[in-house]
């Protein structure tokens, strides 16, 4: 890491001067010996996958910086090392994620609207705005092959909660048909620059500016993925709220599990609370992109349904049993996938774009 930083003329990071943050990858934030604030990410995995993630991160940074559109910013990618799987970004001083802001109840409608406008702006960018080639490969999930069978190596590494989850998914032929339909609609949809791994903690606020971060999955894809991911994020938070549980900054449920009656009792209140936030994001999105894509709200609702199942998968990876709240999320997600057109307004995505 310090070899790369020194080669970039940034000095070195000393262990006593850095913070390590939670995340999928190892990362460090701090001020170098030469006085530069940096955020350094060491990608997990290796081989071609890490190289592709670096290429996508470079294209993401380049596109946003080259386009220079109001309301769309990202921390500058200062340098990278493909062999060492390292990315170096300009540090957003005192930056906090939107998830942290919302946990403190700070200006939720304003920030969700700004986040929606940023994503709508990103989706409006075209090939003429790109200084580097954009990845055109389809996003790999949901993987329809896994609904039939899991690779042996993956199966042997499952937690008991994951075994339970995959038994449910692989035994649901109707859900499989809905996911096939979702992938088909994705193939037919307009392809725009899409983040493809959007969550509230991918937005960073610093000195009044909203930054969109983490372009490792960035590519040309169906923009409904991004809209659905944010709607699904708030829906998941509503479900954990229905369960009377708090969530960490990535949206994972914390605390003891409630019974069914407690979950149901909080349902309407929590959906009423988050629906305006989804609607604010959607309004900001449409203010930037307009009505360029008929059917986007319906597809986004289906993607929100998939997000519920995806979050249940993430929870199952860390547990010995599948919690009731995860089962509830999967059930709600299933309904959204099977009949997305019936849940568009319920989610706050009404008045189809």
How does pLDDT run across 77-104, given as a tens digit for each residue? 999 999 999 999 999 999 999 998 888 8
Q: How many CA atoms lie within 13 Å of 340's alpha carbon, on the beta-carbon side? A: 25
Sort strands 203-206 and 209-212 into parallel, antiparallel or unpaired.
antiparallel
What is the percentage of the chain residues whose pLDDT exceeds 70? 90
**Residue 251: its pLDDT value, please?**
46
Q: How many CA atoms lie within 13 Å of 327's alpha carbon, on the beta-carbon side? A: 13
Q: Model-level pTM greater than 0.85?
A: yes
Phi, psi (rounded to 5 degrees) for 96: -135, 145
Q: Encoding tokens for residue 5? A: 């930083």
**Residue 44: its pLDDT value, please?**
87
**Residue 15: its pLDDT value, please?**
78
Q: Is residue 267 very low, low, confident or very high in pLDDT (cuts 50, 70, 90)?
A: low
CA-wise closest residue to 40 among 5, 3, 15: 5
Given a cut of 90, whether residue 244 has pLDDT beyond it is no
**Residue 249: its pLDDT value, please?**
44
Q: Encoding tokens for residue 165? A: 């989850």
- Give me the mean pLDDT over the 188-208 stretch: 95
**Residue 178: its pLDDT value, please?**
98
Q: For residue range 146-188, what is the model confidence (pLDDT) as tens digits? A: 999 999 999 999 999 999 999 999 999 999 999 999 999 999 9
Q: How many CA atoms lie within 13 Å of 265's alpha carbon, on the beta-carbon side? A: 7
Phi, psi (rounded to 5 degrees) for 331: -65, -45
**Residue 20: its pLDDT value, please?**
76
Given a cut of 90, whether residue 293 has pLDDT beyond it is no
> What is the rounded distance in angstroms from the CA atom of residue 181 to the CA atom of residue 192?
20
Please name the helix (run of DSSP H) or strand (run of DSSP E) that holds residue 194, with its range, or none.
strand 191-194
Phi, psi (rounded to 5 degrees) for 88: -120, 125
Least confident of 15-19, 151-155, 201-205, 275-279: 15-19
Least confident of 120-134, 248-262, 302-316: 248-262
> What is the rounded distance in angstroms from the CA atom of residue 198 to the CA atom of residue 201?
8
Q: Is residue 263 very low, low, confident or very high in pLDDT (cuts 50, 70, 90)?
A: low
**Residue 104: its pLDDT value, please?**
80
Q: For residue range 36-70, what is the model confidence (pLDDT) as tens digits? A: 999 999 998 778 999 999 999 999 999 999 999 99
Q: Is residue 269 very low, low, confident or very high in pLDDT (cuts 50, 70, 90)?
A: confident
Please list, residue by residue across 102-126, b when 16 or more beta carbons sit within 10 angstroms of its beta carbon and e when fewer do.
beeeeebeebbbbbbbbbbbbbbbe
Q: Is residue 110 very low, low, confident or very high in pLDDT (cuts 50, 70, 90)?
A: confident
Length in residues, the chain: 353
Q: Is residue 25 very low, low, confident or very high in pLDDT (cuts 50, 70, 90)?
A: confident
**Residue 243: its pLDDT value, please?**
44
Torsion of CA 50, 52, 230, 91, to 10 degrees: 70
- Give me the mean pLDDT over the 198-212 stretch: 95
Please name the helix (run of DSSP H) or strand (run of DSSP E) that holds residue 236, with its range, or none.
helix 224-242
List the domains of the chain with CATH numbers: 2-90 (3.30.200), 96-347 (3.90.1200.10)
Q: Contact, 150 vs 166, CB < 8 A? A: yes
Least confident of 35-39, 213-217, 253-257, 296-300: 253-257
Given a cut of 60, whether residue 353 has pLDDT beyond it is no
- Residue 88: strand pairing partners: 40, 79
């Amino acid at each position: 890491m310090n070899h790369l930083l020194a080669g970039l003329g940034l000095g070195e990071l000393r262990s006593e001067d850095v913070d390590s943050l939670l995340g999928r990858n190892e990362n460090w934030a701090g001020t170098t010996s030469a006085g530069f604030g940096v955020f350094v990410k060491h990608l997990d995995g290796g081989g071609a996958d890490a190289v592709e993630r670096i290429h996508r991160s470079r294209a993401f940074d380049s596109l946003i910086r080259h386009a220079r559109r109001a309301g769309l910013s990202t921390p500058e990618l200062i340098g990278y090392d493909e062999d060492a799987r390292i990315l170096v970004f300009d540090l957003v001083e005192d930056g906090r994620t939107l998830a942290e802001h919302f946990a403190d109840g700070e200006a939720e409608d304003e920030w969700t609207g700004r986040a929606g406008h940023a994503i709508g702006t990103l989706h409006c960018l075209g090939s003429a705005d790109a200084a580097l080639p954009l990845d055109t490969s389809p996003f790999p999930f949901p993987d329809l092959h896994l609904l039939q069978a899991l690779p042996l190596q993956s199966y042997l590494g499952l937690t008991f909660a994951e075994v339970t989850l995959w038994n449910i998914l692989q035994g649901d032929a109707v859900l499989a048909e809905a996911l096939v339909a979702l992938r088909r609609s994705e193939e037919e949809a307009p392809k725009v620059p899409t983040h493809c791994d959007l969550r509230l903690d991918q937005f960073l606020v610093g000195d009044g500016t909203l930054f969109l971060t983490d372009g490792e999955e960035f590519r040309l894809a169906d923009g409904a993925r991004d809209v659905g991911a944010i709607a699904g994020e708030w829906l998941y938070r509503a479900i954990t709220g229905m369960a009377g549980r708090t969530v960490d900054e990535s949206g994972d449920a914390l605390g003891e599990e409630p019974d069914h009656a407690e979950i149901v009792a909080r349902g309407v209140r929590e959906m009423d609370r988050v629906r305006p936030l989804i609607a604010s994001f959607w309004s900001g999105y449409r203010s930037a992109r307009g009505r360029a894509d008929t059917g986007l709200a319906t597809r986004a609702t289906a993607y929100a349904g998939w997000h519920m199942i995806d979050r249940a998968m993430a929870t199952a990876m860390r547990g010995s049993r599948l919690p009731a709240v995860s089962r509830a999320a999967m059930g709600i997600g299933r309904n959204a996938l099977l009949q997305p057109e019936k849940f568009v307004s319920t989610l706050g995505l009404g008045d189809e774009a």
